[in-house]
Amino acid sequence: MTKPKIYEYENADERKVIYREQDKIKHFIKYWEKHYNIKVPVDKISWFKANKPVIKKCLPIFKELCNIEFINNNDLD
């Protein structure tokens, strides 16, 4: 029994291009999850690639920021 087609392609070259792109996406998601413990949604990959330096710089202080208790300005009145 053959594997059902997931993606539409006409020949083997198109299939290689499609699967190569899917492999790149899967690798990117696994890399961020393994190294930085961040689950990247597929639709946000381009945003993560554009902002990678900023994200990597803010990760060390992120835990501390989570522990800070922010107050609402309306509470000060």
Output the pTM of the full model.
Answer: 0.71
Average pLDDT for 6-18: 86
Domain for residue 25, yes or no? yes
pLDDT digits (tens, 9 = 90+) for 15-48: 899 899 999 999 999 999 999 989 999 999 999 9
Residue 32: inside a domain, yes or no? Answer: yes
Looking at the domain assignment, is residue 64 inside a domain?
yes
pLDDT at 60: 86
Residue 73 falls inside a structural domain:
no
For residues 59 and 36, is the Cβ–Cβ distance under 8 A? yes
**5 occurs within a structural domain:** no
18 lies in a domain? Answer: yes
What CA–CA distance (Å, rounded) separates 24 from 44? Answer: 14
Expressed as residue numbers, the domain containing 21 is 12-68
If one counts the domains in the chain, the total is: 1
